[in-house]
Every structure is written in structure tokens, then in C-alpha cells.
């Protein structure tokens, strides 16, 4: 027995050392792959206040996307989003949304042309993207979330294209003048039963120009009609699999098959409640309890959702957000302790969606997105600085470098190329 004990200890030491060596080898392999492939995140929202000479993405801001965070996490390409919320379908609403959209286009152009042209440039084609990366800079691309600011003036589609937009969704949360939204599923109330007549013309115009059609927010019937009408592949810029998480923002198995038949790509989204609704609710409820207790000591009251926050006057909202950040900071130790018993949605849960969709429709039709600064972020990919963790998880699951390259960007670039090729043919005829 006395002889066996040292032998057992020796064996355990060897096994532990072997496991550590294997982990180090896997980590090194993942880092090499991550450095070589092009990493593209197709959905990052912006705040125009972060695009000024005094405050911008060259600095280490609190936002989830900045140039330092992209550099640290090895994220090559960020699609910056021109988002407008859904308001009334009238000229006043359209004009206000249009002005908001233009302010965001101008902010992005300020970043790449005035603030940090030596660090990041705007790309509108896959070749421009590759050339910029080869020069050692990061890449910005532009997507439009919600076609609402087009109003009834179809010439604005070309204006947005000329300003750099290379994808657009026709609705957001709420039916637009162009198509129904996924949100209609909640009460089964629809405005157009898919696309409006104007929406159909917008789809044709997007095909003609070479702008990818994004179906992440439109309704299922809208998506079906878009595929039927479009002469080019479509994308879902930030959605996941409904087969794993039953949310109307995700695509069900039938929609995934439509996407495959169309030749498009779904960019799996790291939005916790679209990845695992139940797991996120358990964790979020527990975190909110901590925030409430800490907030009580600071005379701070949590709001009941984004609608209540948006209803505040701007100064009141800003003051609330400052106090909220203080509460979060003070609560951080308790939240970390909570994770031991109530785990948050994490990178492994996210890659489960990639696995599911790769099995259902093939790896050529699946990609990656975060929805950073728009509600996205999961444990171990909370901002761009943690981007490598996605590649590491993919390597752990046996994905090859070629497969990881497809997921991280090549699939999306293939669709962009095909959309632009269709546009060239349409313009010739």
C-alpha cells in the first residue's frame, strides 16, 4: 500500500501534466487560426456621441466595440449599424427617422475619414475589405437596420447605398411601411401580410444596386416573399436557431431551409435571450435582485424595461444610466459569486446554435454576429476584446481552420460578392 500511494501520485501528476500540455497546444492552435482567418462581426450598433473629436472609438470607451477592443480580441471587421426605431407611418415620422439615419452615416464617415483613417477604413466590397486588412488596418462596413427612414421615397435606397450601406432590413420591432415585423407574431396582427407594394419595389431596387437584403427582423411571411422576389441571396444579419430557442427573432427549421435554397447566410447572434431564453431569465432575474438591493442603498430605482427608459427625458435618462453603471460596479462581486450557482448564457451555448444550423443547412450558410451595443453580449464574449473565445470554442469542437474561416467571414463575403454580381447583370440589362 505504501508503494502504491507514491505510484498513484506520480501517475496523477503525469496525467495532469499531459492534460495541461494538451490544453496549451489547443490554445496555441486556436490563436494561430484566429490570427489567420478574417473575423467579421455583422451587427454592431452605434451612438453618434461616440464619434466626436473628444470621444471616439480610438479610446477605451465603455461601449462594446472600440478600436482597442477590436485589436485586443483580434476582430478584423465591424459592420456599424444605421438603426432607427419604428414610429408612426407618416411624413413627420419618416423625416425624423431619415435625419437620424443620416446622422449615423455621417458619424461612421467621420470615424474612417477624419478621426482614425490611419486605423480603420470603410469597405463596400470584399476586395476592398481584403486590401484594407492587408494594409494593417481594421475595416468598417455599414448596414441599415429598418428601412423606415426611406419613407415613401425609393430614391433614398440609392442614397443609402452611395453613403456606403451594403445591407438593409425592411423593418425592426413593429411593422414598417415596407413589410411586416416578427413582432406581429405576438398578437397575430399584420399590416401587409408580408411585403407592401412599396417594399416589393425596394427589394428590386436593392437587387439592382447590390445591397444585401437582411431578414433578421421582418416576419416569416415577409422573408418568404423576399426570397421569392429577390434575384440574389439574402442574409439574416443577427439571428439564431428557433429550434434551440423559441423566439420570433430566430429562424425556424423551415426558414433555415429557405435560406439554404436561396444561397444565403444566417449570422448567429450572441444575444442572450435569443440563445437561451430560459437560462437568461433565471440569471437576469437573480442579477436584478442584486441590483435592486444595492440600488436601495443609493436611492436608485430600476426601470421596468427599455420602453420605460426610452420614455424618459434625455437628461433624466442620462442621469439614470450614470447611476445604473455605479450600481453595476458595486454589485459586480456579488454577481460574480452568483454565476457559480446561476450560470449566464455563454459562448458554449452560442456555439450550440452554430452546431445546430451547420447540421441543418451546411456550414456554407452560417456566420457570426454579436449585436454589441444593441443588447448583445454573452459570458466570455461581452465585448470585442473577447472575440478570440469564439474561435477557441470552435477549435475545441473540432472545426477545422477552413471551416472556421467560412463561419467567421468567408460565407458572408461570398454572399456579398454574389449580390454585387447580380447587380452588375441587372444594370447591364
User: Residue 194: which CATH number?
Assistant: 3.20.20.140
Whether 272 is in a domain gets the answer yes
Residue 74 sits in which domain range?
38-276+345-428
Check pLDDT > 60 for residue 3. Answer: no
| Predicted pLDDT at 273 | 97
Q: What is the mean pLDDT of residues 18-30?
A: 85
Find all residues with CB under 8 Å of 124, minimum gap 6, and list them.
141, 164, 166
Final residue of a structural domain among 321, 343, 365 = 343
Question: Per residue in 89-130, pLDDT tens?
Answer: 999 999 999 999 999 999 999 999 999 999 999 999 999 999
Looking at the structure, tell me whether residues 169 and 103 fall in a common domain: yes
| Predicted pLDDT at 312 | 86
Whether 3 is in a domain gets the answer no
- Cell readout for 306 is 427599455
Check pLDDT > 90 for residue 345. Answer: yes
Looking at the structure, tell me whether residues 331 and 359 fall in a common domain: no
Looking at the structure, tell me whether residues 77 and 195 fall in a common domain: yes
Whether 71 is in a domain gets the answer yes
| Predicted pLDDT at 8 | 60
Whether 5 is in a domain gets the answer no
Q: Which residues pair with 144 in a beta bridge?
A: 82, 168
Strands (E), 318-403: 366-369
Check pLDDT > 90 for residue 253. Answer: yes
| Predicted pLDDT at 73 | 98
Check pLDDT > 70 for residue 217. Answer: yes
Rounded to whole angstroms, how far apart are CA atoms 365 and 411? 7
Find all residues with CB under 8 Å of 341, minimum gap 6, and list them.
none
pTM for the full predicted model: 0.93
Task: For Cα atoms 402, 403, 407, give the angle at the middle one, nearest 5 degrees.
Answer: 120
Whether 229 is in a domain gets the answer yes
Final residue of a structural domain among 287, 318, 343 = 343
User: How many domains is the chain partitioned into structurally?
Assistant: 2
Looking at the structure, tell me whether residues 406 and 299 fall in a common domain: no
Q: What is the mean pLDDT of residues 253-274?
A: 98
| Predicted pLDDT at 7 | 60
Final residue of a structural domain among 343, 361, 380 = 343
Residue 219 contacts residue 182 (beta carbons within 8 Å): yes
Looking at the structure, tell me whether residues 164 and 292 fall in a common domain: no
Q: Residue 305's pLDDT band (boundaries 50, 70, 90)?
A: confident
| Predicted pLDDT at 308 | 81
| Predicted pLDDT at 272 | 97
Looking at the structure, tell me whether residues 289 and 322 fall in a common domain: yes
Check pLDDT > 60 for residue 326. Answer: yes
| Predicted pLDDT at 5 | 66
Looking at the structure, tell me whether residues 403 and 325 fall in a common domain: no
Rounded to whole angstroms, how far apart are CA atoms 149 and 203? 15
Looking at the structure, tell me whether residues 282 and 272 fall in a common domain: no
Whether 1 is in a domain gets the answer no
Check pLDDT > 80 for residue 9. Answer: no
Of 265, 284, 263, the closest CA to residue 275 belongs to 284
Residue linked to cell 433624466: 316
Rounded to whole angstroms, how far apart are CA atoms 317 and 203? 37
Looking at the structure, tell me whether residues 312 and 226 fall in a common domain: no
Looking at the structure, tell me whether residues 219 and 316 fall in a common domain: no
Q: Which residues pair with 79 in a beta bridge?
A: 141
Whether 217 is in a domain gets the answer yes
Question: Per residue in 169-213, pLDDT tens?
Answer: 999 999 999 999 999 999 999 999 999 999 999 999 999 999 999
Looking at the structure, tell me whether residues 370 and 339 fall in a common domain: no
Q: What is the mean pLDDT of residues 228-253?
A: 98
Looking at the structure, tell me whether residues 218 and 311 fall in a common domain: no
| Predicted pLDDT at 311 | 81
Residue 196 contacts residue 218 (beta carbons within 8 Å): no
Amino acid at each position: 500500500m505504501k508503494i502504491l500511494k507514491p505510484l498513484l501520485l506520480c501517475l496523477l501528476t503525469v496525467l495532469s501534466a499531459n492534460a495541461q500540455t494538451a490544453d496549451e497546444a489547443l490554445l496555441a492552435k486556436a490563436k494561430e487560426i484566429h490570427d489567420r482567418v478574417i473575423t467579421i462581426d455583422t451587427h454592431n450598433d452605434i451612438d453618434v456621441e461616440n464619434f466626436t473629436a473628444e470621444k471616439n472609438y480610438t479610446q477605451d470607451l465603455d461601449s462594446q466595440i472600440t478600436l482597442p477592443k477590436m485589436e485586443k480580441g483580434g476582430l478584423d471587421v465591424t459592420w456599424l449599424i444605421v438603426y432607427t426605431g419604428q414610429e408612426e407611418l407618416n411624413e413627420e415620422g419618416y423625416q425624423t427617422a431619415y435625419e437620424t439615419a443620416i446622422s449615423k452615416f455621417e458619424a461612421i464617415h467621420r470615424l474612417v475619414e477624419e478621426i482614425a483613417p490611419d486605423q480603420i477604413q470603410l469597405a463596400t466590397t470584399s476586395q476592398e475589405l481584403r486590401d484594407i486588412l492587408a494594409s494593417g488596418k481594421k475595416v468598417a462596413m455599414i448596414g441599415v437596420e429598418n428601412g423606415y427612414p426611406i419613407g415613401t421615397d425609393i430614391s433614398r435606397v440609392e442614397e443609402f447605398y452611395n453613403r456606403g450601406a451594403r445591407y438593409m432590413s425592411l423593418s425592426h420591432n413593429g411593422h414598417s411601411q415596407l413589410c411586416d415585423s416578427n413582432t406581429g407574431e405576438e398578437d397575430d396582427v399584420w399590416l401587409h401580410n408580408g411585403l407592401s407594394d412599396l417594399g416589393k419595389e425596394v427589394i428590386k431596387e436593392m437587387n439592382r444596386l447590390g445591397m444585401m437584403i437582411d431578414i433578421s427582423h421582418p416576419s416569416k411571411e415577409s422573408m418568404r416573399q423576399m426570397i421569392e422576389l429577390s434575384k440574389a441571396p439574402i442574409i439574416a444579419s443577427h439571428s439564431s436557431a428557433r429550434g434551440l430557442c423559441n423566439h420570433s427573432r430566430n429562424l425556424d427549421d423551415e426558414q433555415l431551409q429557405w435560406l439554404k435554397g436561396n444561397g444565403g447566410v444566417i449570422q448567429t447572434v450572441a444575444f442572450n435571450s435569443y440563445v437561451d431564453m430560459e437560462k437568461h431569465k433565471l440569471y437576469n432575474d437573480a442579477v436584478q435582485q442584486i441590483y435592486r438591493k444595492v440600488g436601495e442603498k443609493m436611492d436608485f430605482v430600476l426601470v421596468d424595461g427599455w420602453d420605460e427608459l426610452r420614455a424618459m427625458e434625455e437628461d433624466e435618462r442620462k442621469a439614470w444610466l450614470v447611476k445604473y453603471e455605479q450600481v453595476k460596479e458595486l454589485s459586480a462581486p456579488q454577481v460574480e459569486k452568483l454565476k457559480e450557482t446561476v450560470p449566464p448564457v455563454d459562448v458554449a451555448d452560442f456555439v450550440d446554435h452554430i452546431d445546430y444550423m451547420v447540421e441543418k443547412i451546411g456550414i456554407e450558410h452560417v456566420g457570426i454576429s454579436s449585436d454589441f451595443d444593441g443588447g448583445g453580449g454573452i459570458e466570455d464574449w461581452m465585448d470585442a476584446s473577447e472575440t478570440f473565445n469564439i474561435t477557441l470554442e470552435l477549435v475545441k469542437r473540432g472545426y477545422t481552420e477552413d471551416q472556421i474561416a467560412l463561419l467567421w467571414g468567408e460565407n458572408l463575403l461570398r454572399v456579398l460578392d454574389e449580390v454585387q454580381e447580380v447587380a452588375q447583370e441587372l444594370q447591364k440589362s
